[in-house]
Amino acid sequence: MSGTARGGRYGSMGAVPTVARWWRTRSDPQRIELYTRWSYYSFLVALPVFLLLAVASDRDTASRGLPLLLAAAVVTTAAALHVTRRGFADRTARPDAVGLAVAVVGGLAAVGTSLAATTDGPSPAVPWVAGLVGAEVLLAVSVVVPTRPLLAGAGVTGLLAGVASALDGNPPLAAAVVGASIALAVASVTVAFRFTVWILDVVVEMDRSRGVQLQLAVAEERLRFARDLHDVMGRNLSAIAVKSQLAGELVRRQRPEAADEVADISRIAEQSLREVRDVVRGYRGTDLAGELAGARSVLRAAGIACTVTGEEAGAALPEPVQVALGWVVREAVTNVLRHSSADECTVTLTGGDPVQLRVENDGVGPEGGAAHGHGLRGLSERLAAASGQLSAGREGDRFVVVARVPVRAVEEVR
């Protein structure tokens, strides 16, 4: 029975992703964007409910104008949702003119309906209907409209509510107080929502800046390599070119010094080859102290807090052990940068035999390390050549890479 439930026609129930797992697969900017977007949608959809609560206190308005009032509210809500969705899709565009016009017309229709339905004296529902539909329109455009125009819109909404209250039969002073109160309430709500959009913009820009910093770090390293290669090869190649011309001239004159020049060319070429190998070795090689310093620098440049402990224990390790652990640091830090949204990373080197290197970070990516399995597999092969072991995987909400290399076994091989 259990086998059928797990692998029958309906598949594995364990494969159905939970909401928590789905949420963890999103990056921080995506989470904030989802929160902001659905906060807007939820508040906008709640407009008909708020109108019902406002009208419920007035039996006259509720009995006569409720159907038309709800219809106008639904039209306003649908248009406001359309404008909001378009705003989130393109933050640089102006509010959708057609959707905004429909929302405004629907809001005015709701206010007019509430005024027409009150025939037995002033109704407290009329100014609040004006305030609610005004807030609905302002929230819809606040995704792309800055704060100052929104505050002006809140003032217009308060004026509309005050005029509607006065037309409903309230004294001018009372209508002015109601209008001012509604303007203040609408302004507070609209500015609060606009602030969440501003936070979203800041987070997105910081994430973009982080990517640019990583690209700059890579470009700087490539520039350093190109500069070193130019410094090494420029002089030697120039010397080879001059001596080649001289040797050619000596050969044409059948001078015995030509053999010396050819031998000198060969010597310079061999020297150049050794120097290029040294440059490449310095670029591709792995020195544990250098890799730890580089990891700290690159991670901090990317906005990730990096803590390195036990660094002094690496200085006394044999060179093969340092090389092996240096590759672990390089690959683990690369994975943190490429496959996670980490805020902090900890590198811990523990002496002994075997020596242990532990790299852990938060902000585990959607696949929890599976996406970079090829790099870890290659790293395992490198450690196996030094009789070491590698383990990597989730530990709670963190991803941990642990490498162990026996010191004594490496020294015996040497």
Q: Which residue has the tokens 């001078």?
A: 255
Q: Which residue has the tokens 């310095």?
A: 282
| pLDDT score, position 409 | 60
Taking CA atoms, 127 is separated from 63, 76, 107, in Å, by: 18, 17, 12
Rounded Cα distance between 193 and 35, Å, is: 11
Rounded Cα distance between 344 and 326, Å, is: 20
Of 343, 270, 333, 268, nearest to 298 (Cα)? 333
Helix, strand, coil percentages for the chain (3-state, nearest 5): 75, 10, 20
pLDDT tens, residue by residue, 286-306: 568 878 887 887 787 667 888
What is the phi/psi pair of residue 244, to 5°?
-65, -45
| pLDDT score, position 374 | 61
User: pTM for the full model?
Assistant: 0.54
96 and 10 Cβ atoms separated by less than 8 Å: no
What is the phi/psi pair of residue 124, to 5°?
-70, -15
Average pLDDT over residues 225-254: 77
Average pLDDT over residues 115-142: 82
Q: Which residue has the tokens 């700059």?
A: 216
Average pLDDT over residues 21-33: 78
Rounded Cα distance between 374 and 384, Å, is: 15
pLDDT at 359 over 90: yes
| pLDDT score, position 137 | 92
Of 332, 336, 290, nearest to 311 (Cα)? 290
| pLDDT score, position 411 | 54
Q: What is the mean pLDDT of the chain?
A: 80
Rounded Cα distance between 400 and 331, Å, is: 12
| pLDDT score, position 1 | 42
pLDDT at 4 over 50: no
pLDDT tens, residue by residue, 36-58: 989 999 999 988 888 777 776 66
| pLDDT score, position 285 | 53
Rounded Cα distance between 322 and 290, Å, is: 10
Burial class (CB in 10 A: 0-12, 13-18, 19+), 22: exposed
Q: Which amino acid would we find at residue 149?
A: P
Of 315, 320, 317, 342, nearest to 401 (Cα)? 342
Q: How many Cα atoms within 13 Å fall on the side-chain side of residue 257?
A: 9
Strands of the sheet containing 305-309, edge to edge, are 305-309, 344-350, 355-361, 398-405, 389-395
Tokens of 3: 């086998």
315 SS3 class: coil
407 and 353 Cβ atoms separated by less than 8 Å: yes
| pLDDT score, position 65 | 65
Rounded Cα distance between 132 and 77, Å, is: 11
> How many Cβ atoms from other residues are within 10 Å of residue 265's Cβ?
18
pLDDT at 148 over 70: yes
Taking CA atoms, 130 is separated from 192, 324, 369, in Å, by: 20, 71, 53
pLDDT tens, residue by residue, 371-388: 445 667 777 877 887 788
Rounded Cα distance between 41 and 82, Å, is: 10
Q: How confident is the model at residue 280 (pLDDT cuts 50, 70, 90)?
A: low
Q: Which residue has the tokens 């609560």?
A: 53
Q: Which amino acid would we find at residue 110?
A: A
Q: Please, what are the domains in the chain? A: 26-208 (no CATH), 218-284 (1.20.5), 288-413 (3.30.565.10)
Q: How confident is the model at residue 102 (pLDDT cuts 50, 70, 90)?
A: very high
- Top mean-pLDDT range of 23-27, 235-239, 261-265, 359-363: 359-363
Rounded Cα distance between 367 and 373, Å, is: 10
Taking CA atoms, 328 is separated from 2, 5, 377, in Å, by: 43, 42, 11
pLDDT tens, residue by residue, 150-203: 999 999 999 998 988 888 788 889 889 988 999 999 999 999 999 999 998 888
145 SS3 class: coil
Q: Which amino acid would we find at residue 155?
A: G
324 and 345 Cβ atoms separated by less than 8 Å: no
| pLDDT score, position 354 | 86
Q: How confident is the model at residue 222 (pLDDT cuts 50, 70, 90)?
A: confident
